[in-house]
Structure 1
Amino acid sequence: MCSCNNKIKQLALSAMLTLLPGFAQATSYVDVLDLPAKPSALALRSPLLDVTRAGERLVTVGQRGHILYSDDAGHSWQQAQVPVSVDLNAVYFASSQQGWAVGNDGVILHSSDAGVTWSKQLDGRQIGELVLKHYSALAAAEPANEQWAMLAGEGQRLLDEGADKPFLDVWFADEQQGYAVGVFNLILHTRDGGRSWLPFQDRTENPQGLHLNAIASTGDALYIAGEQGLLRKWDAILERFIALETPYQGSFFGITGKPGEVLVYGLRGHALRSSDGGYLWQSLEAPLQISFSAALVDAQGQYRLFTQAGHQLLGSSEQNALQLLPQQQQAPVAGAAQAGNGALILVGARGVRSLSAE
């Protein structure tokens, strides 16, 4: 009898709680792919993972769907309207208005107003079906081609595992043509500004399915860098990313460069430079064995590389060694860009900071 009364009391209490304001909302689950990023006064000091220019505007992205933009060379920032709360890993603007951001759970976002508002073009819940449908059609058309069946199987695996595969970088040639790259050879291509995406796994020489960490253009060539020394270059004649050999077999985290020259960087202070399209490489001497996490070509054409611990190193096309620059303050760096006034804008685990480019 006592046990029955306790059960009735518990049921009555549960019914009362569901009527309280906010209780039902607190107990219901909303996927971060459907949950807009919350405005936060702390967003500027929370972990940020990449930063770029949109014309004269600066745009940075980071954890929990935070995107911020600045129109005064990084002195003040405003938070953008973002439809997801997933961590965002990279951002790229093809013009002053049209930009894309990518992140965890296979999310691809697009902005047509210089980063003020964003819309979702794709997420990981759709990618498995997209890959499966594309390669299943090719397998049906060419049943003797084992590659199509294998890639269709990869699509089924993505579908079964759900939306958990992150994109790590994004790059666009113009407002229509671009790529998003990520883990386990995940690569998609668009020819219509992201309204539709085409799987490109069969166009990338990566039989081991290694992670694709970065994609970037030097102005005359397009490269992909990844783990275990993976380096690929777009071949317009073959219409695929072909393999390049380098003297380093550790992971590369990024690519920078200028017409006629490319620089790749990664683990334990390794940086390599090529001036013949990626066929011959020269290792640059570095005074530190700390992984490089960001780099840029500054307004003077010099290379500036930043470590995960926040060191800044300077290099040039004429030097075979990188010079460590003194800094009064040091903080981890995940992304770097140069503002219109010449200031270096660095983002990382502690948010945004600005350095002189002297």
Structure 2
Amino acid sequence: MVSSLARRGDRLVGVGPRGLVLLSVDGGGSWKQVPAPVSADLVSVKFAAGDTVWAVGHDAVALRSVDAGATWERVLDGRSVLKLLRSTYGSAAQAGDARAKGMLDEFDRAMEQSATPGVLPAPFLDVWFGANGEGYLVGAFGLILRTADHGKTWAPWIEHVDNDSRFHLYGVSGTAERLYVAGEQGLLLRLDRQQGRFVKVDTPYKGTYFGIDVQPGRLLAYGLRGNVYLSRNDGQQWDKVDTGIDAHIVAAVNAGDDRVLLVSQAGHVLALKPGSLKVQPLQVPFTSEVLSAVAAGSKSLVFGQINGIRVVELMGYSLQ
């Protein structure tokens, strides 16, 4: 199983269960497995600046590669994150901060569910890094960490998010100027730098968003049962995209010129027409359950699937 894929040029990295890391240097034509320093399930991988790649997953694991995916080091795990959370909020609680005391109680309740003593059981579900070294890790039960120094040090940011219900945070995407987090029960958040927090953005949908695609003049939030919503004014107004399917949308692949391909868990590939709320279904070969997708060249996609990796040719459609 390949849970997530990331691409830069001809180099692709895929991650999956039990510390699986796969690397391709020829645009997905061939793959090799590279060693990882953990056995936890990895669920998301993203390129950052230069040759840096980040992968995150279960047991609060965060891995970093500085050679474009060839070798990996463990930066965080459930032990170090739990220590960071207890240290940060413990100090505030001792100073009389009732909110921090409440968070410590939350962590204690979470540890009652941990299969391994001393290991925070919450997974990280996505990662984002900007060119200036700012980065965020987001995950289950509202877990979020921030770094300002390329991951050398981290700070919990749970209290900097409009998410008192601790909904799961599934995706983080955008630019330093327009950064968004997508979560369950219709939760969508935008980083407000003046306030120093992620503030809630109202949307018409109350189901789970798995991700958000942020492009100039466009936001595209996607999630459960084929639900996709489009905004062209930074979330002030939203329109529903008529996908015509009820399978979960797992990826939005940019195709240039304001075009985007929506990929479903069932293997649908839908081309969203520029300036429209309609999609054009593309003919692709039948495939197994799809978990992620990236472009590979000008006429194909690479799917991360329940049973591995597959390159899918797009008949009559160009990604450039």
TM norm structure 2: 0.92
Task: Tell me what 1:10 maps to.
Answer: none
Moved more, 113-122 or 158-167: 158-167
Task: Tell me what 1:288 maps to.
Answer: 245
Task: Tell me what 1:15 maps to.
Answer: none
Q: For structure 2, which runs of at least 5 residues remain unmatched after alignment?
A: none
- Matching of residue 303 in structure 1 with residue 255 in structure 2: no
Task: Tell me what 2:139 maps to.
Answer: 182
Q: Give, in whole Å, the separation in 1 of the partners of 2:82 and 2:174.
A: 28
Task: Tell me what 1:132 maps to.
Answer: 86
Task: Tell me what 2:300 maps to.
Answer: 343
- Matching of residue 59 in structure 1 with residue 3 in structure 2: no
- Matching of residue 261 in structure 1 with residue 218 in structure 2: yes
What is the CA deviation profile of residues 295-314 of structure 1, one whole-angstrom value per residue up to 9, with x for unaligned ones? 22123431111111111111
1:54–1:95: 8 Å Cα contact kept in structure 2?
Answer: no
1:90–1:170: 8 Å Cα contact kept in structure 2?
Answer: yes
Q: Give, in whole Å, the separation in 1 of the partners of 2:138 and 2:215.
A: 21
Displacement after TM superposition at 1:194 (Å): 1.7
1:49–1:89: 8 Å Cα contact kept in structure 2?
Answer: yes
Residue 202 of structure 2 aligns with an amino acid whose one-letter code is E
Displacement after TM superposition at 1:222 (Å): 0.6
Q: For structure 1, which runs of at least 5 residues remain unmatched after alignment?
A: 1-46
Displacement after TM superposition at 1:155 (Å): 3.5
2:130–2:176: 8 Å Cα contact kept in structure 1?
Answer: no
Task: Tell me what 2:106 maps to.
Answer: 154
1:309 match: secondary structure: coil
RMSD: 1.7
- Matching of residue 252 in structure 1 with residue 209 in structure 2: yes
* Seq. identity, %: 38
2:285–2:312: 8 Å Cα contact kept in structure 1?
Answer: no
- Matching of residue 119 in structure 1 with residue 76 in structure 2: no
- Matching of residue 86 in structure 1 with residue 40 in structure 2: yes
Residues 132 and 156 of structure 1, relative CA distance in 2, 3 Å threshold: farther
Aligned length: 310
Q: Give, in whole Å, the separation in 2 of the partners of 1:125 and 1:281.
A: 41
1:84 match: secondary structure: coil
Q: Give, in whole Å, the separation in 1 of the partners of 2:195 and 2:152.
A: 25
Moved more, 324-333 or 179-188: 324-333
Q: Give, in whole Å, the separation in 1 of the partners of 2:160 and 2:34.
A: 35
Displacement after TM superposition at 1:236 (Å): 1.0
Q: Give, in whole Å, the separation in 1 of the partners of 2:176 and 2:91.
A: 35
The residue correspondences of 1:1-358 to structure 2 (distance < 5 A) are 47-141=1-95, 143=96, 145-158=97-110, 161=114, 162-174=119-131, 176-217=133-174, 220-357=177-314, 358=317
Q: Give, in whole Å, the separation in 1 of the partners of 2:237 and 2:64.
A: 37
Displacement after TM superposition at 1:175 (Å): 6.1
Q: Give, in whole Å, the separation in 2 of the partners of 1:136 and 1:287.
A: 50
2:290 match: secondary structure: coil
Displacement after TM superposition at 1:284 (Å): 0.6
Q: Give, in whole Å, the separation in 1 of the partners of 2:218 and 2:145.
A: 26
Decide which structure has greater strand share: 2
Residue 255 of structure 2 aligns with an amino acid whose one-letter code is D
Q: Give, in whole Å, the separation in 1 of the partners of 2:176 and 2:149.
A: 21
Displacement after TM superposition at 1:202 (Å): 0.5
Residue 113 of structure 1 aligns with an amino acid whose one-letter code is D
What is the CA deviation profile of residues 11-43 of structure 1, one whole-angstrom value per residue up to 9, with x for unaligned ones? xxxxxxxxxxxxxxxxxxxxxxxxxxxxxxxxx
Q: Give, in whole Å, the separation in 2 of the partners of 1:55 and 1:134.
A: 40
Displacement after TM superposition at 1:86 (Å): 1.2
